Structure 1
Amino acid sequence: MSTIKFKTLWELFFVFFKAGTFTFAGGLAMLPVIEKDVVEKYKLLTRENFLEFATLAQTLPGVIAVNCACFVGKRAAGLAGMLVAVLGATLSAFVLMLLATILLQSVPMQGAVVGAFRGIRAASAALVLSAAFTLGRYSVKDAFSVAVMVLAFGLVFLADVNILFVIIGAGLIGYLRHRLTVRKAKV
């Protein structure tokens, strides 16, 4: 294995291990942390590539961090990169959950512990909002995108429509718009 490939594999593992270890609230909260390292620090992907993968990772079933690790790792270093990134994303969660399970059995859930969890949840909400704004800046570039975003938000949060149907519908609307645009350009 070449030195460059080994270095890239190590960087992938470290990026996803760090994100999985120090980011609470799950995949959306991890995205800004992963983006900074993958795009700016190690320059493994362009911002556009990363944001495309992050968007796709959110729409597929499964854990967002693992989906993102698959896409980013595969693009940066092939199958080995994908496997190493997924290992990095999941190893810390496994070890931390094992330790937390052991420790929380001996700590009463009251007072300072409850307060600490409230603080962690608040910080996690900020990270999720940060990820939403980052993806929004990339994805919402015109009136059509704004309309689809507002419609999707309304269907999910106000009309309680299943997210899967909203994603499929938004994809279909985008596809149809593209087809109409191409057809008009030919005329």
Structure 2
Amino acid sequence: MNYIKLFLSFLKIGTFSFGGGYAMLPFIQKEVVEKNQWITMAEFTDIIGISQMTPGPVSINSATFIGYRVGGILGSIVATIGIIFTSFILVLITSKAIKTFKDNPKIKGMLMGMRPALIALILTAFLSLAKEAYVDFKSILITVVAAGFLFTKKLHPILVIVLSAY
């Protein structure tokens, strides 16, 4: 396993994607499934599911699981550091500037302009994962019933996940 390549791949994902974990999923998929072929699309879908159930941001959890899958414990450490490195450095450097410019109308406008692109990235990730997840009537039925319990009965999401396993 080339740990430098793993680090650089996740560094690129963490550096050039904007909008949080779900917005990163299409970039992660392209890099690890399509470009480097480290895992299959089915494995990627499973990793996303596990990443959503475990505490923490889905992008960091995904990087950790993918890194472990392709490079063991050292791979998980390398991938996780790669995906958080740029954000960590930028927040460290700009923490004072954020306080200064948080009410700037141009900054607010810029962030508002990014929202439609972020929504498109999240929808792209959903559609890509849905192709793998919804393979038969049973999987669609489980989703509809689970959504019904979540939104009408206000059941706790973890309870719905456990019930969905049956």
TM-score (norm 1): 0.81
Residues 41 and 132 in structure 2, CA contact (< 8 A), matched pair in contact too:
no
In structure 1, what is the Cα distance between the partners aligned to 2:151 and 2:5?
38
Paired residue secondary structure (1:106): helix
- Counterpart for residue 23 of structure 1: 17
| Uncovered stretches (5+) of structure 1, i.e. residues with no partner | 174-187
Looking at structure 2, the residues matched to 153 and 23 of structure 1 have their Cα atoms a distance apart, in angstroms, of 29
Check if 1:99 corresponds to 2:69. Answer: no
In structure 2, the residue matched to 1:185 is none
Equivalent residue for 1:177? Answer: none
The letter of the residue matching 2:161 is: I
Q: Alignment partner for residue 158 of structure 2, among 154, 159, 164?
A: 164
Whether the 8 Å contact between 2:150 and 2:160 is mirrored in structure 1 is yes
Within a 5 Å distance, the mapping from 1:51-90 to structure 2 comes to 51-90=45-84
- Distance in 2 of aligned mates of 1:146 and 1:127: 23
What amino acid does structure 2 have at the position aligned with 1:83? I
Q: Structure 2: how far apart are the matches of 1:68 and 1:136?
A: 17
Q: Secondary structure at the match of 1:105?
A: helix
Q: Note the C-alpha offset of 1:88.
A: 0.7
Kindly tell me: are residues 157 and 18 of structure 1, through their superposed partners in 2, closer, same or farther at Cα, counting changes over 3 Å?
Answer: farther
CA RMSD of aligned residues (A): 1.7
Pick the structure with greater CA Rg. Answer: 1
Alpha carbons 1:26, 1:65 under 8 Å: kept? yes
More deviation in 116-125 or 29-38?
Answer: 116-125
Q: For 2:115 and 2:155, locate their aligned partners in 1 and report how far apart those are by CA, in whole Å.
A: 26
**Cα deviation code 1:31-76 (max 9, x no counterpart):** 1101101111112112222222122111222221221112111111
Equivalent residue pairs, number = 166
Shift in CA distance, 40/154, structure 1 to aligned 2, threshold 3 Å: same
Q: CA deviation at 1:158?
A: 4.0
**Equivalent residue for 1:116?**
110
